[in-house]
Amino acid sequence: MEKGRVFGFGVSTTLPGATSTTTSAPGFCFGGAEAAPSPAFGVTSTGFKLTNERTKEEKTERVVEIPTFTGLQSKLECEWRDVQWTEEQKKNLMKTVGSYKPSCKDVLRARVLLLGPVRSGKSSFISSVQSLFNGRVTNRAMVGSSLNTSFTKKLQSFSIRAQKGEDSTRLVLCDSMGLGDGDMTGLTLHDILSVIKGHVPEGHKFSPDQPVGTETPGYVKTPSVGDKIHCVAFVVDASKITSYNKGFSSTFKLLREHISELGVHQVALLTHVDQICQETAKDISLVYKSLSVRETMNKAGALLGMSTSYIVPVKNYSSELDLDVNTDVLLLSAVDHILQYVDLFFQDYVPQQTGPKLF
C-alpha cells in the first residue's frame, strides 16, 4: 500500500443542485497516512461537509452523514500475529531471555551480529533492549545523528546485562559499521564475513580501504566456535523501505548467500514502525493490526530476499525517558525470535575433531 493511500468504502451522495459524487470515508491509519481532503471536501466530526460550487453564492452548506463501516473495522479486529500485551508477558519474556543458555557446551555466550544501512536503528535496538533490563531508558550503545555516514566505526560487543542483582544474560549483541551505498562508504562483504567467521578482534576500527587480514592487529587466526557469530539480524528502517538505494537489494541477497554458506541463520528487524502509521505511533500494541505495517513487511521481505516469517517489527526507544510495557513486549519478542535461530546454529554445529580418528 503506497504512502498516502486511504482505505475506505465509496459513498454515493446526491444532493439537490449537485451531480452524483463518489467519495471515500475518512482515512484509516492502518491503510497508510490519512489523505488530505480534496478542495471541495472537508471533514466534520459527523461526516463530510460538502460545499457545492453552485451554492456558494447562496452561502449555504449541506452535511452528508457517513455511516460507521463495521465491515472495514472487523478486518482489523484480529492481529495477524498473536501477542499478549501484558506486564505478565513482559516478565515471562524477560525470564526466557535472561535464563537463556547456548545448547553448545563449548560456547559461553551467543553472539548476534546486527547488519543494516546507516541509521537503520542497530545501535538504538541494542540500547533499547538494555534499557528494558535496566528498568529505565539508557543509551549504552552510542547513537549518532550523522545523515550520510555510519556513527559506529568499530566492532563493539554488548553483553545484555540482566536486572540488578542478577548475572548478565548469555546474549551478546554485536554492533558494527553500517552498510553504505558504495564500496567505500560502509562495511565491505570481506569484512562482514571476517566478523562472522570470528577473525575480527573486539574494538577493530573498520576502514573500506584497509580490509581485515592476518596483518590486522589482534587478528584471530584460529577462532573458536565461541568467537564466531551465531546469528545475523538484518536491520532495516520501515520509513525508508521504498527510498533505499536499489543496489541494497542485490547487496542483501549477496550477503545472505555468503552467510548461509557459513551455516549461519538470518532474521530481520523492521524498525521505526511507529513512523508509518499514526495509530501504531499512539499505541504500539496495534502493530499487528496495521495493514500499513504488514505491507511494509512484505516490501522489506522483497528487499532482503527473505520470507516475512523471518521478519519482526520493533520500536526502539528514542525520545522517551520512561519504559512502556507494550514497547518492551515487542522488543523482547524480537530477541526471543533471534534466539530461536541462534539455537538452530548450535543444533547444526558439529565440533571439529582435533585428534586422529579411531577405527
How does DSSP classify residue 54? G
Separation of alpha carbons 187 and 201, rounded Å: 15
Confidence check: pLDDT of 125 > 70: yes
Separation of alpha carbons 93 and 340, rounded Å: 13
**pLDDT value of residue 152:** 60
Phi then psi for residue 352, to 5 deg, are: -75, 135
Separation of alpha carbons 61 and 268, rounded Å: 52
- The distance of Cα 103 from the centroid of its chain, to the nearest Å, equals 27
Separation of alpha carbons 297 and 275, rounded Å: 14
**pLDDT value of residue 339:** 97
pTM score of the predicted model? 0.75
Give the pLDDT confidence of 273-299 residue by residue, as tens digits. Answer: 999 999 999 999 999 999 999 999 999
Cα–Cα–Cα angle for 31, 32, 34, rounded to 5 degrees: 105
Give the pLDDT confidence of 340-350 residue by residue, as tens digits. Answer: 999 999 998 87
232 Cβ contact partners less than 8 Å away, ≥ 6 residues apart: 112, 113, 114, 115, 196, 259, 264, 265, 266, 267
Read off the pLDDT band of 187 (50, 70, 90). confident
Q: What are the cell numbers at 60?
A: 449555504
Contact 229, 114 (CB under 8 A): no
Return the SS3 of 177.
coil
Query: 10 Å Cβ neighbour count for 326?
Result: 18
Q: What is the largest CA-CA distance in the chain?
A: 103
Separation of alpha carbons 188 and 115, rounded Å: 11
Separation of alpha carbons 308 and 15, rounded Å: 47
Give helix 87-98 / helix 325-348 axis angle, nearest 10°.
30
Q: What are the cell numbers at 222?
A: 584460529
Return the SS3 of 173.
strand
Separation of alpha carbons 47 and 72, rounded Å: 17
Give the pLDDT confidence of 27-55 residue by residue, as tens digits. Answer: 334 444 444 443 333 333 333 333 444 44
Read off the pLDDT band of 163 (50, 70, 90). low
